Amino acid sequence: MPSLFDPLRVGPWDLPNRIVMAPLTRNRAPDAIPTPLMAEYYLQRASAGLLITEATAISAQGQGYADVPGLYGTEQLDGWRRITDAVHAHHGRIVVQLWHVGRVSHVDLQPHAGKPVAPSAITAKTKTYLIKDGVGSFAPTSEPRALDSEELPGIVHDYRHAARHAVSTAGFDGVEVHAANGYLLDQFLKTGANKRTDDYGGSIANRARLLLEVMRAVVGEVGGARTGVRLSPVTPANDIHDDDPQHLFEYVVRQLASLGLAYIHVVEGATGGPREIEDRPFDYAAMRNAWRKAGGKGAWMVNNGYDKRLAEHALQSGADLVSFGRHYLANPDLVTRLRTDAPLNPPDKSTFYGGGAKGYTDYPALAPALSQALV
């Protein structure tokens, strides 16, 4: 039976283990520009089979939180290049998560203080993160405006442009399209946020249209083998829900199967919360089977609340990769700690969002000599 520590070929990557660092928003990129401190953070975690970066905005319009990085400017791409070079120098593999937040934003973060955009003009009952005078705080999201259908090709273009420069300029090994957690593509997918009556609303096929257009565009730029996608069928994150998630997501993965993707990354349950939601049951095995039966060959990656025991069980039940979030936040040497059953550092919640090195790059690793001997 497969183990977390077995190697795996995924797309063009030879992963030394099946442990993935999940995307974690940390709000430490002033002016959306990646910093040397971020390079240290990712370098510390380069022993993961695969690193997935924090969600990274594909455009200024796609920005929804203060001090999150972008991929749409020269300085941003140069900052990411320093990070990918550092990770590669230590034999790591790193992909960037492409992000448009849609309605989960604030006028203070939008170009020209405009309204955030969404499939429909429905305000998300959630909060975003702002920094004013050096102090971070959470604030309710702003009322969005509905995107005109004529604007949607521009959104697709922004994903295509970001993917191309992520690989060719910033040096990433690939990209992950963020279609989860109540952000723009997830908003189009789900009935709770999408009340459109045009070709992008109503039926499952129509609501999935924008995601599929984005995925085809990204694959056309960087290839399916360097592309993944993150999905969250039943999470309530950012005030999102769907009336029939089982049929929706089985349809989505069947449509994605022909694109030759590197992986499907699935958030099981509520993002950062319970893995089972009483009023939102979901059959993830059926979703995976729909993907496989439709010809999907890429890896199946699972996420949310995994520890070593649950992760090993997931691999024995059909998953190929397991992504870890908070454990990776506080344990840069997570691979070694899991391999040796060493104690895990507890995360400091007060430093999750914003700040400097404290709670970011200062979590202790095992003694270097011991860690090296155990790898």
Q: DSSP strand E in 152-255: where? A: 174-179, 227-231
Phi-psi region of 113 (alpha: psi -120 to 50; beta: other; left: phi over 0): left
Catalytic residue among 42, 72, 129, 183: 183
> How many Cβ atoms from other residues are within 10 Å of residue 205's Cβ?
11
Residue with tokens 């155990």: 374
Instruction: Find out whether 287 and 233 touch, Cβ atoms under 8 Å.
Output: yes
The β-bridge partners of 301 are 265, 321
Closest by alpha carbon to 170, among 259, 63, 264, 56?
56
> Residue 24 carries which DSSP code?
-
Q: How far, in Å, are 118, 177, 191, 291, 326 from residue 263 at the CA level?
A: 27, 11, 25, 11, 21
- DSSP H or E segment with residue 83: helix 74-89
363 is catalytic: no
Q: At 210, which amino acid appears?
A: L
26/279 Cα distance (integer angstroms): 31
* C-beta of residue 20 within 8 angstroms of C-beta of residue 50: yes
**262 class by beta-carbon count within 10 Å (0-12 exposed, 13-18 middle, 19+ buried):** buried
Q: Please report, as a single letter, which amino acid is at residue 97.
A: Q
Q: Annotated catalytic sites, by residue?
A: 183
